[in-house]
Structure 1
Amino acid sequence: MQSFTLGDFDISRVTEWHGRFAPVSVLFPSIPAKAWDAHRTWLDPHFWDAATGDYQAHMQTWVLRGQGRTILIDTGMGNDKPRTDDLMGGRSGDFLHQLAALGVRPDDVDTVVNTHLHTDHVGWNTQLRDGEWTPTFPNAQYLISKADFDYWNPANSITRKADFGDPADSRAAFNDSVLPVHRAGQAVVWEGSEHPIAPGLTLQLAPGHTPGSALLKLDSGTDRAFFVGDLVHTPLQFLTPGHDTCLSEDQRQAARSRLRMMEEAADTNALIIPAHLGGAGAAEVVRQGSGFAIKRWAPLSAPAPQN
């Protein structure tokens, strides 16, 4: 099962790619090796490959349908994108076919949420048609935080972190996956700490991973969920949210944002739904001492690791 219900909304995930991404010692430099080994029985194989030491990543989009709306949260890597990274560049995947299998056509999508503007979250914002990058979802508003729009815009003279990946890919992603929807008049570049979308759906700024990183809060009926983008990459961050990834622009700020989110999620029984988590994909947490513990996993089946 790759779908479940929260209040008025049906939640589905579309996995564009999953497999070994990079060594956890590189991605999570502050997490000691013994922490991975201590939780080997449930981290391996869906979140971590114990044999290789690699992080198991899922590039996926969350689809929300309810209240007469169809909303996509993040749009993955996209097809045909010119990237220096072998995984991200020149892809020819079946993302749109997977959406169609859910009964979602590009014309049906009314809202696209980009939790932040990293390359692997904006790819299907656009597709290549007759040599031009055009919005994939012609009837959608694309919600983008102004902080990220300004930060990643190559036209602005900003010194950006380049510890991981090629800065050329960030420039290319903005130019082929963000600017076209802005030029088409479909981008909503929002400011402030919060941005309401619909009854029970609110975007909230959670900076650190990028300056404009945001999470989407769902509050519908008796159900609550936080779609947190890259605020969480590994379930070990559920247990000890002070650990961050080398991919963040500001690791300390990201840790503060994550802790605030975790405290609220534990106090309100909200399901935490990250962008890249494999396995069941999401979990509820409870406070435990000075940290947290996993209370319950989401009712999703776990795709088998690809490698």
Structure 2
Amino acid sequence: MVAAAPRATVHVGETAITFLPDGHGWLNPDVLFPASAPDGWSTHAAFLDDAGRFPVSIGAFLIRTGRRTILVDLGLGDVAFGIPGVADFRGGGLLDSLAEEGLTPDDIDTVVYTHLHHDHVGWTTNVAPAPNAPEGQRVTGLTFAGARHMVAEAEWRHWAGTDDPVGPHPYAVQASLAELVEHVGDGDEIAPGVRVLATPGHTPGHISLVVTDPAGASPDRLVILGDVMHCQVQVTESSWNFAFDVDPGQSVATRELLLKELEDEHTVLAGGHFAGHVFGRVLPPKSARAWQRGRVA
């Protein structure tokens, strides 16, 4: 039975990229992938659990390159809640996953958000809002207080001043980052060999990150997808949008363009919501494009 992905590391040259689990979710596939209903999952049942739910991983990616230590996204936070008929979520493991790599929050120099949905910003502060969270929780500070925090300007502007439950909480995230958040855009270099790639659609300012060998010795590259895809099934079913895609048409166009560019033996995809294993490759289509679990050496 497929389950949330464990901690795992791949390398691009001397750069290490590690998936750090924070938690997991169980989703109603017909609700959250509307185009899949009524029987689109019949050929993809391997990605469902015994109850017919779609499991997702939730976590962050740790990039260690040279002297830089970067976190991409911040998981769900220490919360557990359900949305009847739609999904159940549980988080809370990110700091333990980080400790298993021999690191503490003080070791992180940069946080990069692919986007600002609640399951990617949960450890921004000590408060991880959830539908069942107590009212009036007090924010005592940033979890990664010594780190720069970066997000695309279009993403920040899209959510600014909103109180959408799927987005960044007004005080736990927006107010806490307002005076220090830095904006990044397509092509910007976060660190040697770590570059921003604009991938809008799921949200207006959604970005992915492309990791290459800064020494130029390895031809490999790795793409941290963010939510361009929520499941390996979307490699084949690229027209399937997620229910919370802000611009469904743009989401499909971005996903299809990116998949065509990634049909390359030297490219690994890192899908933070992928169940089972977050790292793999896109195989060029014969009758249909396919996903292959795999790692960079």
**TM-score range for the pair, normalised by the shorter chain length:** 0.7 to 0.9
The whole-number CA distance in structure 2 between the counterparts of 1:172 and 1:67 is: 31
2:92 corresponds in structure 1 to 93
Deviation at 1:295, TM superposition (A): 3.8
* Pick aligned residue for 1:29 from 19, 30, 34: 34
1:115 is paired with a residue whose SS is coil
Judged with a 3 Å threshold, the aligned counterparts in structure 2 of structure 1 residues 33 and 281 are, in CA distance, closer, same or farther, namely: farther
SS at match of 2:188: strand
- What is the deviation of 1:219? 1.3
Is 1:181 the counterpart of 2:177 in the alignment? yes
Equivalent in 23, 32, 38 of residue 43 of structure 2: 38
Identity, in percent, stands at 28
The letter of the residue matching 2:116 is L
Unmatched 5+ stretches in structure 1: 156-166, 300-307
1:241 pairs with one of 238, 241, 257: 238
Q: Counterpart of 2:34 in structure 1: which amino acid?
A: P
Q: Contact 1:29–1:246 (CA<8 Å) still a contact in 2?
A: yes
Indicate the residue corresponding to 2:11 in structure 1. Answer: 5
Instruction: Describe how 1:71-110 pairs up with structure 2 within 5 A.
Output: 71-79=70-78, 93-110=92-109
Tell me, yes or no, if the aligned pair for 1:77 and 1:119 is still in contact at 8 Å: yes
Amino acid at match of 2:273: H
Amino acid at match of 1:77: L
In the alignment, is the contact (CA less than 8 A) between 1:125 and 1:178 conserved in 2?
Answer: no
Q: Partners in 1 of 2:34 and 2:150 — Cα distance?
A: 32
Secondary structure of the corresponding residue to residue 124 of structure 1: coil
Q: Which structure 2 residue ranges, 5 or more long, are not aligned?
A: 1-6, 128-136
1:15 aligns with 2:41: no
- Structure 2 CA distance, aligned partners of 1:93 and 1:27? 23
Alpha-carbon distance change, 246 to 68 in structure 1, aligned in 2, over 3 angstroms: same
Going by fraction, where is helix more abundant, 1 or 2? 1
Is the contact made by 2:75 and 2:91 (CA closer than 8 Å) also made in structure 1?
no
**How large is the Cα RMSD of the aligned pairs?**
2.7
Distance of 2:168 and 2:196 partners within structure 1: 26
| Paired residues of 1:12 and 1:64 also in contact (CA < 8 A) | yes
Q: Deviations over 1:242-272 (max 9, x none)?
A: 2211110011101111111111111463111
Alignment of 1:213-292 (within 5 A): 213-220=206-213, 221-267=218-264, 269-289=266-286, 291-292=288-289
CA apart distance, 1:168: 4.0
Q: Distance in 2 between matches of 1:283 and 1:37?
A: 23
- Which one of the candidate residues 190, 199, 205 is aligned to 2:192? 199
Deviates more, 1:203-212 or 1:215-224: 215-224
TM-score scaled to structure 2, two decimals? 0.83
Contact kept? 1:205, 1:214, Cα under 8 Å: yes
- Structure 1 segment 45-56 matched on structure 2, within 5 A: 47-49=47-49, 51-56=50-55
Q: Is the 8 A contact 2:65 2:192 kept in 1?
A: no
Name the CA distance, whole Å, in 2 between partners of 1:277 and 1:7: 24
Shift of 1:276: 0.7
CA contact (8 A) 2:19 2:272 kept: no
Aligned-pair distance for 1:290? 7.1
**Residues paired across the two proteins, number:** 275
**Cα drift, residue 37 of structure 1:** 2.3
In structure 1, what is the Cα distance between the partners aligned to 2:251 and 2:178? Answer: 27
Summarize the Cα distance change of 1:262–1:174 in structure 2 as closer, same or farther, 3 Å threshold. farther
